[in-house]
Amino acid sequence: MKKKMLQLPPIKLDYMKAITDETGIFQHAKFSTPNRKEGYTTDDNARALIVCTKHNQLIKNPKIAKLANTYLSFLHHMQMENGQLHNFLGYDRRFLDKVGSDDSLGRALWAFGHVINSNLDEEKKLLAKEIFKKALPHAINSTSPRTKAFAILGLGQYQSADPNKNTLTQKINELAKQILNLYNKTASANWSWFESYITYCNAKLPQALFEAYKHTKNKIYLQVAKDSFNFTLKVQMNNNVFTPIGNNGWYIKGETKAMYDQQSVEAYCMTKTALTALEITQNTQYKTAAQTSFQWYHGKNIQSLKVYDPKTGSCYDGITPKGLNLNQGAESTVTYLLARLNIETIIN
């Protein structure tokens, strides 16, 4: 009998549901209580929508499909006539920004791609396609590399659902070339990266190039994907313990890497990209990397702290120099669920 890599708790959406109301998922929580004062975001509702699509692929469930509709409806509401999206919505349902960040737009495109390539009903897919079409030009014109990366991931999902739509491949190519240009301007012998600093959601950049290779077969995308991902693995692995770059200073080229605060989203990003690399290259070192990154949630981190609570299905907001950040906001729990749903493919 084949041994499992880790005895994992079951996939549990209870807490995600608990911090969701009829509008959407709340951005933050004070400990485990939704913080209504800080409202909702496109970022979190997009990620929660992906959780629903992936969970529904695993176990088809009308309750999860209904929850997906809440998140999709939220994103539809956040889109403006010109295709841009707001990011912040107050508890009183007033928009709190004139226009959302480019990253939130990219995450929305990523989510819409997952809806299109899902087993949700056709009406939801039609709405996702409509919003996607209006939003995509803004991602192409963005200067944010992460926005472009998320857009590629969304396009990749769309392309998988509609492989004969050549315009999707063209858009993937266009965005991947833009990311490649950033790499060529910045990378050096000891710095295989797209910017002169490494900050947040880092692994999404190489993941996007792995995805671009999958759909275009351009070997340059594959080589840069491997080189950049191997670099970030080297930077963020410490004696076989995943040690994400801290948000209190990040990692600027030539300077010392910040150790804290370590954010839960980073463990998901590394886990998913390692699994994508494994799928495309069949190199088992990436399976090990995925396992190591995922185990960060379950105590394999530099403080040996359990970041995920299997009793409630919630995830703490990260690790500080003094221990756990005891707040349990949407980003942490939702990205844990994304990691857990993805790791399901290799745990047996």
Burial class (CB in 10 A: 0-12, 13-18, 19+), 335: buried
Which residue carries 């992906």 as its tokens?
A: 50
Q: Provide the 3-class DSSP secondary structure of residue 228.
A: helix
Q: Provide the 3-class DSSP secondary structure of residue 215.
A: helix
For residue range 39-56, what is the model confidence (pLDDT) as tens digits? 999 999 999 999 999 999
Determine which helix (DSSP H) or strand (DSSP E) holds 318, and give its type and residue range.
strand 318-320
What SS3 string covers 160-195? HHCCCCHHHHHHHHHHHHHHHHHHHHHCECCECCCC
Task: Note the pLDDT of residue 121.
Answer: 95
The proportion of the chain whose per-residue pLDDT surpasses 70, expressed as a percent, equals 98
For residue range 237-276, what is the model confidence (pLDDT) as tens digits? 999 999 999 999 999 999 999 999 999 999 999 999 999 9
**286 within domain boundaries:** yes
Domain that holds residue 31: 14-343
**6 within domain boundaries:** no
Strands 251-252 and 197-198, sheet pairing: antiparallel
For residue range 142-198, what is the model confidence (pLDDT) as tens digits? 999 999 999 999 999 999 999 988 899 999 999 999 999 999 999 999 999 999 999
- Give the C-alpha separation, 153 to 205, whole Å: 10
The neighbouring-strand residues paired with 112 are none
Task: Please give the backbone phi and psi of residue 314, each rounded to the nearest 5 degrees, phi first.
Answer: -105, 165
Reported pTM: 0.96
Total number of domains constituting the chain: 1
Burial class (CB in 10 A: 0-12, 13-18, 19+), 32: middle
- Give the C-alpha separation, 19 to 70, whole Å: 13
**55 within domain boundaries:** yes
40 and 92 Cβ atoms separated by less than 8 Å: no
348: pLDDT strictly greater than 60? no
- Give the C-alpha separation, 346 to 116, whole Å: 25
pLDDT band for 347, please (50, 70, 90 cuts): low
**331 within domain boundaries:** yes
**1 within domain boundaries:** no
Task: Note the pLDDT of residue 2.
Answer: 43
- Give the C-alpha separation, 129 to 9, whole Å: 35
Q: What is the CATH number of the domain that holds 243?
A: 1.50.10.10
DSSP string, 100-168: --HHHHHHHHHHHHHHHTSSS-HHHHHHHHHHHHHHHHHHHT---HHHHHHHHHHHHHHHHH-TT-HHH
Determine which helix (DSSP H) or strand (DSSP E) holds 330, and give its type and residue range.
helix 330-343
**21 within domain boundaries:** yes
83-120: burial string, b at 16+ Cβ within 10 Å, e else: bbbbbbbeeeeebeeeebbbbbbbbbbbbbbbbbbbeb
pLDDT band for 6, please (50, 70, 90 cuts): low
Instruction: Look at 7-16, 85-94, 259-268 and tell me which has the smallest mean pLDDT.
Output: 7-16
**280 within domain boundaries:** yes
**51 within domain boundaries:** yes
